[in-house]
Structure 1
Amino acid sequence: MTPASEPATATSLPIGSDADLAWVRHQVRQFAAEIGFGLVQQTKLVTAASELARNTLLHGGGGQAKIIPLISGPARGLRLSFIDTGPGISDVELAMSDGYSTEGGLGLGLSGAQRLVDELTIDTEPGRGTVVTVVAWATGVPAPRPGSR
């Protein structure tokens, strides 16, 4: 799939506490509903956002989430970026594998989030931080054609 179309506006939200995680989930759900995501799609996207925001807080020491509405002809979607300046991910392939956890959890954060969205990319470098970006498109409206975004 080609990269999502460029947005007109972005909303940035801080991630520095558990209360911020709740606010990110609320905002993602609100944006998704306004764009036309169905309830199941909203739940999947909010779940992915919750996992990625928690990773930003726990592993990256906090950061920010960016919510970006996407419009490509009749297609509607959201791009969510989770940005931190923490230690980075030394082995992305290992971090993406089911069951891998550095905090004693189930190890389904990154790999689980990937299954819940249409696109997931990770830009990281040890010592520089991490940006995890996901894109999800609302069903019920035509998806953008490759090359049309």
Structure 2
Amino acid sequence: MTARPDGPEELPITGDDDVVRVRQLVRAYAQEVRLGLVDQTKLVTATSELARNTLVYGGGGFARIEKVAANGKTGVRASFHDEGPGIPDLALALADGWSSGKGMGLGLSGARRLVDEFDLDTEVGRGTVVTVVKWKR
């Protein structure tokens, strides 16, 4: 495993290959903080969906991945930033089972269930930032 810098790493999301790179980087970070295999898989699945959403719905953007520590715990935080159209109906977008049909089918609610912390900031016409955290158990 390669040692990571102390600060966050940012990756552009402008195409399908970038979604794969984000997924690989998140897995590397999850392994570094020693998340269990199930939690690694949950985090990688959630961030893959969010990276794809950034590309498909936000028109591209970037991901910021970093190790975090709080209250004696370590984890991985991933945030996804775009300057796309924003989410006009946040309640609908976060409803269980709702998907536009263009993604992996998880939707935002599925990604939210896979992580320990989930924050979504969106404004129509200004874009969206989704931040997730998975803590080591």
Do the structures match in fold with TM over 0.5?
Answer: yes
- Rounded to whole Å, the distance in 2 between the matches of 1:24 and 1:105 is 16
Contact 2:49 2:104 in 1 (8 A): no
Question: For residues 105 and 24 of structure 1, do their structure 2 counterparts lie closer, same or farther at Cα, with a shift above 3 Å needed?
Answer: closer
TM-score under structure 1 length normalisation: 0.83
Counterpart CA distance in 2 for 1:21 and 1:34 is 20
Post-superposition Cα deviations, 1:72-124, rounded to whole Å, max 9, x if no partner, equal 25310111100000000011110011232334557532011010001111100
| Match 1:27 to one of 25, 28, 34 | 25
Q: Is the 8 A contact 1:120 1:132 kept in 2?
A: yes
The TM-score, its normalising length taken from structure 2, stands at 0.90
Distance 2:126 2:73 in 1: 34
SS in 1 for 2:11: strand
The equivalent residue for 1:10 is 8
Superposition deviation, residue 71 in structure 1: 1.5
* Change in 2 beyond 3 A, CA 1:80/1:104: closer
Runs of 4+ in 1 over 6 A off after TM superposition: none
SS of the residue corresponding to residue 132 of structure 1 reads strand
The farther-off stretch of 66-75 and 18-27 is 66-75
Q: 61, 70, 73: which is aligned to 1:72?
A: 70
| 1:55 paired residue number | 53
For the aligned residue pairs, the C-alpha RMSD in angstroms reads: 1.5
What are the equivalent positions in structure 2 for 1:38-49 lying under 5 Å apart? 38-49=36-47
Q: Which runs of 5+ in 1 are unaligned?
A: 1-7, 140-149
Structure label with greater radius of gyration: 1
